[in-house]
Amino acid sequence: MYRFTRESMAKEWAFLSGLFYTINPWVLERFISGQWFVLLGYAFLPLLIGLFFKILQPTPTRENYIRFTILFAVFPLLSLHFAYIGIFLLGLLFVLYFSIHKGQLYVRWKSILTYGLLSIVVLCIVNSFWIIHFTQPTATLPQITFNDFYAYTTTSDPVWGPYFNVASLYGFWNQDIALPKDLNSLWWLNTIVVLLLSLFGFYSVVRRKNVLGIALGIIFIPSLVVAVGLASPISANIVKTLYLYLPGFKGLRDTEKIAGLLALTYAFLLPFGAYFIAHAIARGSRAYFRFSKTLPYLFILILPFSSTFSIFWGASGYIPVAPYPSGWYAAEKALQASQSSDKVLFLPWRGYTRPPFADFHLIASPAQGFFTNELIVSKDEGNDNLVDVHTTPWDKKMFQLLQGFETLEQNKNFLQQERVTHIILAKENDWERYLPFLENSPLLQKVLDSESLVLFEVTH
């Protein structure tokens, strides 16, 4: 972000821009929830925009084209969501730039068309596996319904409502997080000042005809509305329309991801707003300007720390190091003693879980990072409120078994086909629901029963 804004402002102001982009509530919420690829796309978005803007210039170099083509092709590997968002942002930049700089498009249309097609071809080649995957009937995207949007509904502030909450870079669906605003009753003051400074910043970039700043100012309101999503009746109708008619939009079922664009807008416009106010106070006096810019500069410098102070020291102790229970080590030892190289079914069937040894925080299932054997685990990326979606054979089997529609004996051939030799039932979440079809099955022999899990061996 610093390098991105360095093209438009002095380095000391660009530093503030990079600092705010790195430390803000949106980053904190995603960081605590472990959404690394979302943050990776967010981190590289300014670089993608910066390289794109360089090739729009009157005399772009071949090196600029090559750099942009490489990053453009690799970007979906970093984050599909931000690649999708970034394409629309690049389209807006393209239209806005050549609307302001009329005439350049006609002079350079051949090179733009040539390198544009080349970038798209390289993008398709590098991401061909995504394209092939999305054409499969078992792909995740076709299975997403509007119920998923309800599961990932943006949260609203009980006092300020959904729009102000998202404008403050809050609103992530995961409520299992201690937020900075919960610890500071005057958190809303930061938001109001940020909005005012950004408004002055937008006025400043319009006067300067800064294409990047104007584009970010234009997308602010649409991004805010879409990010609010189902938390408001007006935005809910807009999101539903986009879901029905905009290709690929259903992949953004967690619409609050788009609030990352608000952070990008703030980070770019805040220094412009502070500089504009300082210059207005100084009224052209250089000596007085040095003094008048100190206060707004210090405010933006302190802003990330005052609004997101709990991001430090392991998110104020919220992210501790949690040792695995002894029962997990005993199960791993038993599996290795069996000398079986086949698969292990891990239950409960949840992609996200609340293990007691992790203080019941909602986390991605940690089993694959522990056991040596190849595990069969749920790929569900939902949360506790997600409507049951059965997209894989194992999803369907678990549903049938839990509802009592089938027994484990009826799935003997299925277990053999899947090469399942052991089943682990971790004692977390709703694990008792699995006991009836596990403990009463003649196919299973209990190998280990500890405080944290039960290990069964499949006796085919």
Listing DSSP states for 109-137 in one string gives HHHHHHHHHHHHHHHHHHTHHHHHHHTST
Q: Look at residue 287 in the predicted model and tell me its pLDDT.
A: 59
Is the pLDDT reported for residue 292 higher than 80?
Answer: no
Which of 172-181, 231-240, 287-296, 305-314 is predicted with the least confidence, judged by mean pLDDT?
Answer: 287-296
* Confidence tier at 24 by pLDDT (50, 70, 90): very high
Residue 290 CB burial class (10 angstroms; 0-12, 13-18, ≥19): exposed
* Phi, psi dihedrals of residue 172, rounded to the nearest 5°: -65, 140
* Phi, psi dihedrals of residue 451, rounded to the nearest 5°: -70, -20
Is the pLDDT reported for residue 304 higher than 70?
Answer: yes
Is the pLDDT reported for residue 328 higher than 90?
Answer: yes
Is the model more confident about 136 or about 152?
152
Q: Look at residue 104 in the predicted model and tell me its pLDDT.
A: 66
Which of 72-81, 253-262, 387-396 is predicted with the least confidence, judged by mean pLDDT?
Answer: 387-396
Q: What is the mean pLDDT of residues 148-174?
A: 92
CA distance 320 to 310: 14
Q: What is the mean pLDDT of residues 198-208?
A: 94
CA distance 118 to 132: 20
Q: Look at residue 362 in the predicted model and tell me its pLDDT.
A: 79
- Helix then strand count (H, E) for the chain reads 23, 7
* The pair of three-digit structure tokens given for residue 105, joined into one six-digit string: 């498009």
Residues 424, 329, 350, 152, Cα dihedral to 10° = 180
The tokens 């997080």 sit on which residue? 177
Q: What is the mean pLDDT of residues 374-395?
A: 67
Is residue 344 within 8 A of residue 422, CB to CB? The reply is yes
Strands ordered across the beta sheet of 343-347:
375-376, 343-347, 420-426, 453-458, 444-449
Q: What is the mean pLDDT of residues 74-99?
A: 89
Consecutive H or E run containing 454: strand 453-458
Is residue 304 within 8 A of residue 19, CB to CB? The reply is yes
* Confidence tier at 97 by pLDDT (50, 70, 90): confident
Residues near 219 by Cβ (< 8 Å), separated by ≥ 6?
A: 89, 92, 261, 265
Give the model confidence (pLDDT) of 125-143 as tens digits: 888 887 787 777 666 777 7
Q: Which residues pair with 161 in a beta bridge?
A: 157
Which of 104-108, 271-275, 317-321, 434-438 is predicted with the least confidence, judged by mean pLDDT?
Answer: 104-108
Is the pLDDT reported for residue 384 higher than 50?
Answer: no
Q: Look at residue 251 in the predicted model and tell me its pLDDT.
A: 85
Is the pLDDT reported for residue 383 higher than 50?
Answer: no
Is the pLDDT reported for residue 393 higher than 90?
Answer: no
Residue 359 CB burial class (10 angstroms; 0-12, 13-18, ≥19): exposed
Which of 100-104, 153-157, 193-197, 431-435 is predicted with the least confidence, judged by mean pLDDT?
Answer: 100-104
Reference 355, options 369, 376, 341; nearest CA is 369
Is residue 394 within 8 A of residue 414, CB to CB? The reply is no
Q: Look at residue 425 in the predicted model and tell me its pLDDT.
A: 94
Q: What is the percent of the chain where pLDDT is above 90?
A: 38
DSSP label at residue 181: G
Q: Look at residue 388 in the predicted model and tell me its pLDDT.
A: 47
Mean pLDDT, all residues of the chain: 86
Q: Look at residue 381 in the predicted model and tell me its pLDDT.
A: 59
Is the pLDDT reported for residue 54 higher than 80?
Answer: yes
Residues near 408 by Cβ (< 8 Å), separated by ≥ 6?
A: 401, 415, 437, 438, 441, 443, 444
Q: Look at residue 82 in the predicted model and tell me its pLDDT.
A: 93
HSE-up of residue 326 (Cα within 13 Å, Cβ side)? 3
Q: What is the percent of the chain where pLDDT is above 70?
A: 93
Q: What is the mean pLDDT of residues 285-308?
A: 79
Q: What is the mean pLDDT of residues 408-414?
A: 87
Q: Are strands 420-426 and 343-347 parallel, antiparallel or unpaired?
A: parallel
CA distance 377 to 410: 21
Is residue 46 within 8 A of residue 21, CB to CB? The reply is yes
The tokens 């991801």 sit on which residue? 257
* Confidence tier at 183 by pLDDT (50, 70, 90): confident
Is residue 278 within 8 A of residue 292, CB to CB? The reply is yes
Q: Are strands 363-364 and 343-347 parallel, antiparallel or unpaired?
A: unpaired
Residues near 168 by Cβ (< 8 Å), separated by ≥ 6?
A: 25, 157, 160, 181, 187, 188, 190, 191
Angle between helices 36-56 and 25-32 (to 10 degrees): 140
Is the model more confident about 408 or about 325?
325
* Confidence tier at 316 by pLDDT (50, 70, 90): confident
Listing DSSP states for 272-335 in one string gives HHHHHHHHHHHTT-HHHHHHHTHHHHHHHHHHHHHHSGGGHHHHHHTS---PPPHHHHHHHHHH
Q: Look at residue 332 in the predicted model and tell me its pLDDT.
A: 93
Q: Look at residue 118 in the predicted model and tell me its pLDDT.
A: 85
**Phi-psi sector, 324: left (phi>0), alpha (psi -120 to 50), beta:** beta
- State CA 255 to chain mean position distance: 10
CA distance 444 to 410: 13
- State CA 388 to chain mean position distance: 22
